[in-house]
Chain A
Amino acid sequence: MRTEMAQDNTNQNVTQEWLVKAAERLLMKSKQSDENVPDAQRRDALLRALVELEQL
């Protein structure tokens, strides 16, 4: 993914780097639990990934 300056996210301490990483991580997680997993389970996995991403 191209690196570019995020929109005005500085007040939320969200950097472009974080966005790129978060998108990659979430897409990977989503792909891992694709068609074969119930929605709720997949969303739980995504939410856990988001919580982990907050630590980055």
Chain B
Amino acid sequence: MKFIRLTLNNFRSFYGEHKIEFSSDDQQPVTIFVGDNGHGKTTLLNAIHWALCGKTTPRLDNSSQLINLDAFSEGVRTTSVTLELVTGVTGSPTYRIERTGGNSGQSDLMLFETRDGITQRSRAPDVQGAIYEFLPKGLIGWFIFDGEAINEMKLDGSPNLRRDVRKTFGLNTVDTLLNDLEHIERSLQREISRQDVGSVVPEKLENLERLEKSRDLDTKERDELGAELLNLKTNVDLWSGELRKFPDTARLELERTRVVKELDVAKGKFKRVISERARRLGDGSLSLLAFEGSQKLIEVFDKLEKTQKLPSNVGESLIHDILKDGRCICGRAVEPGSGEHESIHGLLDTAATSLLSSRIMHLRYKLFDIKRVASQFENDYLDKTNQISELGFHIGGLELRKKQIRTEMEGIPVRVIAELNNQLNDADERITIINRKIGALDDRINVTKSQIARLKSEINSIQLSASVAQSLILRRQRVSLVRDYIARKLVEQERVTFDVLAQEINSCLQKYLTRDYTVSIDPQTYKMEMLRGDGTRIPTGAGDGLVLRYAFIAAIVGMAAKNTATQIDWLARPVVAPVCMDAPFSALDESNSGNVASTICDLCDQVILLFKGDAWPTLEQKILKKIGRVYLLISEAKGVRGDRPVKDILIMGTRHALNDYGAERDQTVVKEVYRA
């Protein structure tokens, strides 16, 4: 990771906006800020620290006052720091961290990514976490620190030391990966156990084979029966065709039976009608003879009445009643002595007596009866005669049909027909049996087919599981192999790391010190001690002992950046970040500071140093070739200078003032005075 640009906005002593470009050149990776005490060096370091983690360093005075005082008095209630950086990872975008906050200690954080000229806000769910990906939280203090507090760096073998060293070199990532792979391997093993199919498949395959054989046998039998059925139906059609050529014997027989029966009935009826006619003739022949006589007698009676040889039909009692009452039956008066009365009286000569009239009437009735009976006999006789004639005609027709039927039947080859009928009956019987068998076979075949389909599906599913299991087994084996491989590599890398760390620290110590001191590192805890040649321990809290911390930082940062003499091909990407030191070497003896600065600037990819003007001459000589940019932190004060002093500094042959007067406000301004 390298810092590109820092922008301050009303941050502590920096009023308004200040933009600072860092040197990120590989050959001149050092950016230097020179300023006296109170000119804003620690503020600048804290601006970077605050941008990265939202906190200031422990030694910052008045740390709750982040907003520039003049700006605050003008009503400004927020301050912001923007830090732009690149991670150095191929294909990675340029990041911009924007932190805004007030004096409350709270801050808002935004992260932007610029790729191919397009800037967009990061979609990382945890922006602070994403920033810790660039520089892990626990390691910020190793890269961005206050040199005056260098002796607070613990190299005493605390658990954090080993953890942080491993983290810097990415070894914790390898630990996590190994742990993850072990977890994945266990998951795969569980999945394999679930997929285990045992001996189910062979058993099911045997069942499948048996069912398929059964299906084939049934199908064969069904096909044979089908062929036989087809043959039989062909024969049935043939025989039926032949039978249709002959008259229908059964129909003829039936008709003959019907004709005979009808003939019997007709003949019986014929006899009965003849008999009835004969009886009627016997009963009615005398009435025919009497008919003529009665007719004659009626004519005689009529004639005698007309000639009055028989009493009239007027009764004498009636005449007596009219004469006695003097009134006709029509109501008209008949006066005695009148002509009419005489005339009616004269009727008494021919008037009938009642007895005679009764006998004549009886006789007449008898004569009419004789006539009626004779007439009815004639009608009956004619009717019967007609019936006899019709029946005779009908009987003749039936006799003729009976004869025709007999002739037709005599022409039929009965034996042939019987044989054909027998064959047809046999065939029908066989067809019925075959159809029944085919039906049963079809049912059985369908059931078997269904069982086969189900079994095949089960087998496919099991085989798929088996295939999945096999694939999972291979995957688990591969995971196991790669895990073993990485674990072996990690052990190897830890050993190499330990050796190289000791080697690099010793190399630094040799450059820093004139004495022959070496470092002793505990391989378990990474506890570090500096030893004299005779093996005695040197206290690390002050003097020469302090350089061990700088040597440790230089070695760690250099190893991570692969800038050391022995380079390690890291398993995982290590943390590579700029080293940013405030008052970097103030705790060291002047004789050591130049060498320490030189080593650090040689080993680190990017270095930001903030120091007082006093230290400049020594450092300039040691790190001149590495310097990319130099800034002055100039303190400006309000009011006229008067007797107040102005300090200056010679940088790259040019003299610059470190403070000034007559400004609108008391503030720090940043001025670039050198760029490589």
Contacts and interface: CB of A to CB of B under 8 A. Distances in A.
Interface of A: 1, 6, 9, 12, 14, 19, 22-23, 26-28, 30-31, 34-36, 39, 42-43, 46-47, 50-51, 53-54
A31 B489 contact: no
A12 B180 contact: no
Given A35-B133, A36-B126, A36-B130, A30 B475 contact: no
User: Which 8 interchain pairs have the tightest Cβ spacing?
Assistant: A36-B129, A30-B177, A22-B482, A19-B485, A27-B572, A23-B486, A31-B173, A43-B180
B122 to A, nearest CB: 12
B478 A50 contact: yes
Contacts of B126: 36
B650 interface: no
Interface of B: 124, 126, 129-130, 132-133, 136, 170, 173-174, 176-177, 180-181, 183-184, 474-475, 477-479, 481-482, 485-486, 489, 569, 571-573
A51 B571 CA distance: 21
Contacts of A22: 478, 482, 485
Contacts, number: 79
Given A31-B572, A36-B132, A54-B475, A9 B176 contact: no
Contacts of A27: 173-174, 177, 486, 571-572
A23 B569 CA distance: 13
A7 B75 CA distance: 72
B499 to A, nearest CB: 16
Contact of A26 (B177, B474, B477): B177
Given A19-B481, A23-B571, A50-B479, A34 B133 contact: yes
Given A42-B180, A47-B184, 11 more contacts: A1-B569, A9-B481, A23-B489, A31-B170, A31-B572, A35-B132, A35-B133, A39-B183, A43-B183, A50-B479, A53-B478
A46 B174 contact: no
Given A1-B569, A23-B485, A27-B173, A39 B180 contact: yes
Nearest to A46: B180
Given A12-B474, A26-B482, A50-B479, A34 B173 contact: yes
A38 B486 CA distance: 22
A39 to B, nearest CB: 7
Q: Is the interface of A mostly helix, strand, loop or mixed?
A: helix
10 contacts: A12-B477, A19-B481, A19-B482, A26-B482, A26-B486, A30-B177, A31-B572, A34-B133, A36-B133, A46-B184
A34 B180 contact: no
B367 to A, nearest CB: 139
A47 B136 CA distance: 26
A26 to B, nearest CB: 6
B130 A30 contact: no
Contact of A12 (B136, B183, B481, B571): B481
Contacts of B181: 26, 46
A50 B184 CA distance: 10
A31 B474 CA distance: 25
A43 B475 CA distance: 14
Given A1-B489, A23-B489, A30 B173 contact: yes
Nearest to B485: A19
Contacts of A23: 482, 485-486, 489, 571
Nearest to B179: A39
Contacts of B485: 6, 19, 22-23
B90 to A, nearest CB: 11
A14 B481 contact: yes
A22 B184 CA distance: 15
A20 to B, nearest CB: 8
A35 B130 CA distance: 9
Contacts of B129: 35-36
Contacts of A53: 478
Contacts of B132: 35-36
A50 B124 contact: no
Contacts of B133: 34-36
A26 B184 CA distance: 13
B264 to A, nearest CB: 104
A19 B489 CA distance: 11
A22 B180 CA distance: 14
Contacts of A30: 173-174, 176-177, 180, 572
A2 to B, nearest CB: 8
Nearest to A47: B184
Residue of B174, B184, B571, B572 ringed by the most chain A CB atoms within 10 A: B572
